[in-house]
Every structure is written in structure tokens, then in C-alpha cells.
Amino acid sequence: MSDAYYLHLTDRLREQLKDPDAFEDGRLPSERVLAERFDTTRVTLRQALGQLEGEGRIHRSNRRGWFVSPPRLDYDPTRDSGFNDYVTAQGRRPRTEVLLTDVQAYPPAAQALGLAAQTPLYHIRRRRFVDERAVLSESMWVVPERAPGLLEEGQFGVSLWAELRGRYGLTLAHRELRFYSESLGEQAARELGVAMGSPGLTVRRATFDEQHRPIGYDEERWLHNALCITVTLKNKP
């Protein structure tokens, strides 16, 4: 059970995972069967499976064993494209659930938007799915005077930004984004059906109009293995 053997086993399993037909229904054989097939111990096998889980290639489903993870969704924050559009463009199926709408003060949103900490904001909480897997728990806060009545009539199941553009004529001219790794807190973990403390990727975004007036702020909590952020840059000549 040397380090070298565990790494070799990880490589072999990783190769097999690239073959879409290698595992029926995307489900790996049991650990017992895998250990026999690769002539190794359960301990070494679990090291290799743990490594592949960390790489986002496989995931565990409660009591049902190991499954091949779907490919990460590519997300290009420099393009002005909504969730439904970029998921569909990648041949995947998007779905959005509205979990909650209310009015609340949220100091981190207010701070990012340059408002007083206790400013009441429209708040919309959504859960988003790709191919029926919950991958994203999202909260969005909108400055009420920019979109009066938003909560009464809004259709947040598709694109909130389309609503802000179309119904309120807002221009999303300036956005400040922050991405970082952060484990999932209690609420996001529950909404995504994983254990609290599971690794996640957080995206925070503050949006302003052409006059740099604040429009809204959102926080996205993604499953760590669901997303890849891609950016293509061209230097000015």
C-alpha cells in the first residue's frame, strides 16, 4: 500500500472515468468489487476515491455508493449571459426554484452597494438546478427604489436581470465580482442536499447602473465541483 501504488490506482480510475460508457448509469461498482478488480485493499482504494472526489470527478450519494460527477458547468463572468442561457448553451437543462421573497436589511449587501447598513432591500432566495441536480443556492438583494413593486409581480423563475432590464429599463453597466472557496454554511448545505461544511465556491456580485447608482447585490453558493470559471483576455495592443 505504498504512496506510489495509490497514485497509480488513482490514475487508472481517472482514465476509466473518462469513458462515458464505462459505468452503467454513471454508478461505480461497490468498493468491494472495485478493490477486487484493481487487486488492492479497501484502504488504498478509498484513498484513490477520496482523491478523485476532491478533483470533482466522482461524488458519494447517501447510502447509494459512488457516482461519476457530471462535467463542471463553464461560467464566463465577463459575458452578460444569464444562468438559463449559459446552461442551455452547454447542452444542459436548467431549472430554478424560488424559495423565498421578502424585504430585509443585509449589511454585507448594503456595504457592497455603498448604502447604510440597515437599508431595507428586496430579497429573493433561489435554488438552481442543472439536469435536476441542485448546484447553486443564491440570494439576491435589490434596491427597492430602482425596481418598485418587484416582489409583487416579478417572475424570478427565469432571469431576474432580464426582469430588471425589461420592466424597469435598468442598465447593468458596472459589476464588481468576487470569487473564492468557502465551505457551505448550514442553510446553503441544506438547500443543496450536502453535509454542512462541504467545500463550496462563493460568488459575490455588486451591480451598478451607468451613473454608478447601486442596483443590486447577489451571493451565490455553488457545489465545489459544479462550476469552472473561464475568462478569455486579450491585451490592448
Q: What is the amino acid identity at position 221?
A: R
Residue 103 backbone zone (phi > 0: left; psi -120 to 50: alpha; other: beta): beta
**Which DSSP letter does residue 19 get?**
S
Query: Residue 47 Cβ, how far from a second copy at the closest point, in Å?
Result: 9
x-or-dash pattern for a second copy, window 122-141, by CB under 8 A?
--------------------
Query: Residue 179 Cβ, how far from a second copy at the closest point, in Å?
Result: 4
Q: Write the secondary structure of 127-190 as one string of H (helix), E (strand) and C (coil).
A: EEEECCEEEEEEEEEECHHHCCCHHHHCCCCCCHHHHHHHHHCCCCCEEEEEEEEEECCHHHHH
Q: Which residues pair with 77 in a beta bridge?
A: none
Task: Report the residue from 41, 111, 155, 171 that binds a second copy according to the rule CB under 8 A.
Answer: 171
x-or-dash pattern for a second copy, window 80-119, by CB under 8 A?
x---------------------------------------
Choose the stretch contacting a second copy; rule: CB under 8 A; options: 17-25, 71-79, 144-152, 162-170: 71-79
Query: Residue 130 Cβ, how far from a second copy at the closest point, in Å?
Result: 15
> In whole angstroms, what separates CA 147 from the centre of its chain?
26
199 in contact with a second copy (CB under 8 A): yes
Query: Quick check: 192 and 99 in contact, CB under 8 A?
Result: no
Angstrom distances, CA of residue 228 to CA of 63, 97, 192, 203, 219: 28, 22, 18, 12, 17
Task: Report the residue from 184, 192, 194, 215 that binds a second copy according to the rule CB under 8 A.
Answer: 184
- Residues in contact with a second copy, counted by CB under 8 A, come to a total of 46
Choose the stretch contacting a second copy; rule: CB under 8 A; options: 60-68, 76-84, 97-105, 107-115: 76-84
Cβ neighbours of 92 (radius 10 Å): 16
Choose the stretch contacting a second copy; rule: CB under 8 A; options: 30-38, 86-94, 130-138, 167-175: 167-175
181 in contact with a second copy (CB under 8 A): yes
Query: Quick check: 10 and 51 in contact, CB under 8 A?
Result: yes
Q: Scanning residues 211 to 230, which ones bind a second copy (CB under 8 A)? A: 224-225, 227-230
How many Å apart are CA 213 and CA 227, to the nearest integer? 30
Task: Report the residue from 16, 84, 101, 183 that binds a second copy according to the rule CB under 8 A.
Answer: 183
Q: Scanning residues 26 to 55, which ones bind a second copy (CB under 8 A)? A: 50-51, 53-55
**Which DSSP letter does residue 78 get?**
T
* Residues making contact with a second copy (CB under 8 A): 3, 7, 50-51, 53-56, 72, 77-78, 80, 171-186, 196-197, 199-201, 210, 224-225, 227-235, 237
